[in-house]
Structure 1
């Protein structure tokens, strides 16, 4: 009773505050249940953990995970010194001192594949969370370093595959994130490409946007490219604008690769997809063949050049149009287009010149371009001996058309030049290589097909049609008149240069003069040592002698040119030739004999022997001339008036030697093709049409037919 009274009178405040001494109606004390205490404890622990996490959090805890994932993805070791994250609507992530090592097979490289002082990426998470893609307002690289290496076997350290080989094309990859600004400070990248014989460094940095203008990227190149020193300066639009399809990407590039200088200024449309280009290109250097490493287009040797034009990209072709410039002392211009999408790039070139110096084009036929040539004493070749480069020809297919309006060459009286040629799978087909010579033409065609040992199986034909003798000999100044020369030259051979082809060639030369002309009298007189007439000729009396006939019918077999007929007949003399020219060792053994047609006094007729190297032959009088000179000397000592006797010629008479030689040349021409209507006066319109049809038929004659004709001729002559 007393206990209950005491409880009843306990202050109500203790009950309100949960006094632990409260008792139940049965008199036992009450305590809070464990279920009610657990949330309170957890909340306290969580609050304490959050506070401790905020105070003690270290983002470096994630570095090992980043390194493992990156190393596995890139197939090379990746290390990061520190990771910093600043959360927010725009979260900034910074990696301090990231390093990417070299992959297997490149561990001997002195430098790492890539590194930087820091890499900072700003990310906006919300657009990504709602499916709008990844937005990166800033990607910043501080002092990035790189080492880009490609080996001759095709392996490279920038192919992120396990074996280092290029990854197969798997189609379109994921879309690129939207990057606001790419910032590079103090970049230094080494590029070493073995197949291109290149090892150079790129120092680069970016400039920030300012005054409403986008920033730029600036790069300086220095080192070696294609085994030549290279120095380059490039200023382009901000790297991120490379993917901007709305605004063209600006380009300003100047490169000096060895002695070659390249300047490129303008814009490129959507560079990632190469949608188009509008550029001004200037090329200059000592030799266009040095452009091959830069362009991939093989060009023969040339003299110093400078050209400028527009470079664009339309209809899936790279085009260099409207260019003009100089090649040696010749001007050069035209259009070039390249289709890079074919298995072997295809080049279409339409070129022209107003004034041409043939010496500038010598490299296109295997010679040394230009006038200044250095010839060693050991080099006995008189024909171009530059080797035709088969690997380079296989690198491109091409169709080239060229026209030169006027040829400037004092030694060769040619008026203009027309060329039409193709290169297909390493084979060269010269459809047309024509020269105008006054009212006549020199029309040639050739095919060169690749053969064993990098040689070419070659068929060549030259048609000489109504070439005026006066123009042909204009450089020597020895002929005048209306005579024309016609005929053919053929060659079938296998070799690697012009000199080598002729040295192993079979074919011939058949040339005939028609209509006569005038030959400076001193030339045949001196050939026949007709001293009296030669003195008169030197005094200008007579100043000319008529050229009545010229025949050169000379077969070529295995590089040796022999003589069927060689005849020059004037009104007073008849000159014949006999012997061989050996293109295997570039020597000759030839005799030229001139005799008077009429009775002549004070003459020493007989053969003049020309022997030895083609470059510097020895010219000596034959036994007949030596005997007459000795007899003259002996008679002069005994009885001086009798000394004139050995100098008397009674003359060989006019005869029909010329007609017989022409008939023989038409019946069995050394070239395998009869001169036909390639000489004589120009025909009437009807005859001209017939000749055109005959020419087309002749042009259609295959190389096998020409060879068969030659073989029949050889059999007839008992060879």
Structure 2
């Protein structure tokens, strides 16, 4: 019985164990079912908007501006597409809080996941931007709302690979730019087109509004975003801009545009005045007459190069090469320019004058030229801007092979000019005149709003026949020599000469015939009738001409002014007031021999430099009246007032000795002149 009971107990235990195992097997399907349902519910109820705070935070940290978005969508796959709706980038502090810096209706970014898994490279084959709107604002102090400052203290490893970008598609983009410092308010319309092109299309930007307080319109067509990072593929550029009356076009290709590897661009400038190029180039240029210049734009050794350019400025041609440092804080410009034919009127803007002529100047310049003729002022009075002079360092060499101006007795011009921190040196500024030259060195140092100026001018073997040739009426031979030494301070050429001190000394020695009208060289417009009354013949042989004129506080006085010919001697006295641009001058001529038929006495020249009044003095008038009266009574007695005794020719030697002993412009001390390597004057 005991055995049976034991067996019976074992059987119950065994039965109980067998019943438990099937119950555990039935639980596993329930577990799998619950997990599957959970996955289905997660997929069905998943909302990518849950990640918006994280994405907003990362984007805000990267840009330094608060970034928000309304919705976030992700389409998973080998190429995952992330789309953000209602993206907004807020303005920084100090700019309108109710107006965002940027808004984008839809921003889609495609990411090639497998590329990152295999090569750890972020591959973005497509960026799709739908209706971006940007309001770019700047303040007068230069601060701008588009300045991006990262708020993150960490930075990515320098060894990490940059993202690989593909296509960029922009639909209906709009950019509004307001910058009071640049006097700019313009709108840009941006979109991409030509998606079927092998490169993935191109970007198109059109502009209108105002730039530098001038109306601006423009159109830019550039290559696709994909070509920006392709080092072996040049980036195409086609730009046309009209800023006021100035037009600029730029066409060609850029190598490696992200690192400026080089360029092959054709640049064309046209307009009424090169000074208007300042907002477009950042380099101040003096006023010029209308111009058109075409050349090649390149980038070489960190310098922007405008090379092999040619064109016209007014009635002058211009060619050469200009290079500028693209990375220096203050632009450093080196220019090597030349002209085959140059009209000095076209260069008047470089000394503060009105460039061009009544035919070649623009409308405003023609009006200024007409006004200057009416005023009688001839000295340029436009002020030099010291801040503009300091805006760029310039090293210029210029050579004008042939000067075209029938009223200027100059043959060519050679200039080497440096502007460093507003300090101007011209070494040299030389003109060739026949077989001689006029050589100058100038130094202009900024002093507040003025320029402290030192000018040294030498007249070396200047050919008198070349000077007279410019009059197209008079002939003669001789050699002119002398010097001018001027120190002054002022903000324009007119104010500098009006404050000047120093002097001018010139001497002419002659041989051969010279017209009796040589007195016109002194700036006189004496008629034939007056000269005939003075008893000067049509031809006379030049003995000497001496002009020794001290300059004190802008007053040029006549210490010595003597013209000696074989027939007469003329002596000048008086002053020229350069501050008021007026003269008070008299010229008295005496016959060198016993003569009958002349009316001795002074000829007075007064008034404005540009329109002097020329009248015979009281002695000439009285003698002429007496001659007429006596001629009525008794014709033979009419010759008595015209009889002169010869004064001889010794005064020329005496005056020359006095001038050489104490000239108004003494020779400067023997200080070596350091001339920068520049263009040299050709022989002959």
Fold match by TM threshold 0.5: yes
Measure how far apart 1:508 and its partner are: 0.8
Measure how far apart 1:479 and its partner are: 3.9
Q: What secondary structure does 1:244 align onto?
A: coil
Q: What secondary structure does 1:294 align onto?
A: helix
Measure how far apart 1:640 and its partner are: 5.4
Deviates more, 1:574-583 or 1:622-631: 622-631
Correspondence for 2:67 among 70, 78, 85: 78
Matches within 5 A, 1:379-528: 381-452=377-448, 454-477=449-472, 479-521=474-516
Q: Paired residue for 2:196?
A: 210
Q: Paired residue for 2:660?
A: 666
Measure how far apart 1:493 and its partner are: 0.7
Q: What secondary structure does 2:347 align onto?
A: helix
Pair 1:321-2:299 in alignment:
no
Q: Paired residue for 1:534?
A: 532
Correspondence for 2:296 among 310, 315, 319: 310
Q: Paired residue for 2:680?
A: none
Q: Paired residue for 1:114?
A: 102
Q: Deviations over 1:290-316 (max 9, x none)?
A: 112212222111111111111111222
Q: Deviations over 1:96-131 (max 9, x none)?
A: 22122222111168x531112211111122332445
Q: What secondary structure does 2:637 align onto?
A: helix
Distance 1:446 1:462 in 2: 9
CA 1:91–1:698 in 2, change beyond 3 Å: closer, same or farther? closer
Correspondence for 1:123 among 111, 128, 138: 111
Pair 1:369-2:365 in alignment:
no
CA 1:567–1:340 in 2, change beyond 3 Å: closer, same or farther? same
Distance 1:489 1:171 in 2: 67
Correspondence for 1:244 among 230, 240, 262: 230
Measure how far apart 1:521 and its partner are: 3.0
Deviates more, 1:219-228 or 1:521-530: 521-530
Matches within 5 A, 1:97-246: 97-107=86-96, 111-161=99-149, 175-210=161-196, 212-246=198-232
Q: Deviations over 1:436-483 (max 9, x none)?
A: 11111111111111112x211111111111112121122334543321
The TM-score normalised by the length of structure 2 is 0.88
Q: Deviations over 1:658-701 (max 9, x none)?
A: 11111122111111229xxxxxxxxxxxxxxxxxxxxx956649
Q: What secondary structure does 1:116 align onto?
A: strand
Measure how far apart 1:360 and its partner are: 1.0
Deviates more, 1:259-268 or 1:70-79: 70-79
CA 1:531–1:417 in 2, change beyond 3 Å: closer, same or farther? closer
Q: What secondary structure does 1:602 align onto?
A: coil
Q: What secondary structure does 1:480 align onto?
A: coil
**Preserved CA contact (<8 Å) 2:525 2:614:** no
Distance 2:129 2:233 in 1: 25
Measure how far apart 1:556 and its partner are: 0.5
Pair 1:94-2:72 in alignment:
no
The TM-score normalised by the length of structure 1 is 0.83
CA 1:294–1:100 in 2, change beyond 3 Å: closer, same or farther? same
CA 1:151–1:33 in 2, change beyond 3 Å: closer, same or farther? farther
Q: What secondary structure does 2:50 align onto?
A: helix
Measure how far apart 1:514 and its partner are: 1.1
Measure how far apart 1:597 and its partner are: 1.5
Q: Paired residue for 1:682?
A: none
**Preserved CA contact (<8 Å) 1:554 1:670:** yes
Measure how far apart 1:418 and its partner are: 1.1
CA 1:401–1:75 in 2, change beyond 3 Å: closer, same or farther? closer
Q: Paired residue for 2:607?
A: 612
Distance 1:698 1:407 in 2: 31
Q: What secondary structure does 1:568 align onto?
A: strand
Distance 1:531 1:99 in 2: 87
Q: Paired residue for 2:616?
A: 621
Distance 2:459 2:530 in 1: 37
Q: What secondary structure does 2:611 align onto?
A: coil
**Preserved CA contact (<8 Å) 1:421 1:432:** yes
Q: What secondary structure does 1:159 align onto?
A: coil
Bigger Rg over Cα: 1
Distance 1:174 1:152 in 2: 39
Distance 2:601 2:527 in 1: 8
Correspondence for 1:657 among 651, 662, 673: 651
CA 1:84–1:641 in 2, change beyond 3 Å: closer, same or farther? same
Q: Paired residue for 1:596?
A: 591
Question: Please, which runs of 5 or more residues in structure 2 have no aligned partner?
Answer: 359-365, 676-684
Measure how far apart 1:485 and its partner are: 0.7
Pair 1:563-2:552 in alignment:
no
CA 1:528–1:261 in 2, change beyond 3 Å: closer, same or farther? closer
Distance 2:346 2:471 in 1: 22
Deviates more, 1:29-38 or 1:217-226: 29-38
Q: Paired residue for 2:679?
A: none
Q: What secondary structure does 1:156 align onto?
A: coil
Distance 2:119 2:35 in 1: 33
Measure how far apart 1:385 and its partner are: 1.6
Q: What secondary structure does 1:117 align onto?
A: strand
Measure how far apart 1:400 and its partner are: 1.2
**Preserved CA contact (<8 Å) 1:469 1:517:** no
Measure how far apart 1:78 and its partner are: 2.9
Q: What secondary structure does 2:641 align onto?
A: helix
Distance 1:273 1:652 in 2: 82
Correspondence for 1:295 among 267, 278, 281: 281
CA 1:440–1:412 in 2, change beyond 3 Å: closer, same or farther? same
Measure how far apart 1:595 and its partner are: 1.3
Deviates more, 1:73-82 or 1:244-253: 73-82
Distance 1:210 1:659 in 2: 91
Measure how far apart 1:637 and its partner are: 6.2
Distance 2:63 2:562 in 1: 81
Measure how far apart 1:513 and its partner are: 0.6
Q: What secondary structure does 2:198 align onto?
A: coil
Measure how far apart 1:552 and its partner are: 0.5
Q: Paired residue for 1:714?
A: none
Q: Deviations over 1:594-643 (max 9, x none)?
A: 11122222322111222222233333332322332444455456655434
Equivalent residues, number: 655
Q: Paired residue for 1:14?
A: none
Pair 1:333-2:319 in alignment:
yes
| Cα RMSD, aligned residues only | 3.4
Question: Please, which runs of 5 or more residues in structure 1 have no aligned partner?
Answer: 9-21, 675-695, 703-719
CA 1:376–1:255 in 2, change beyond 3 Å: closer, same or farther? same
**Preserved CA contact (<8 Å) 1:81 1:97:** yes
Distance 2:559 2:251 in 1: 63
Q: Paired residue for 1:18?
A: none
Q: What secondary structure does 1:54 align onto?
A: helix
Pair 1:263-2:249 in alignment:
yes
Distance 2:493 2:126 in 1: 62
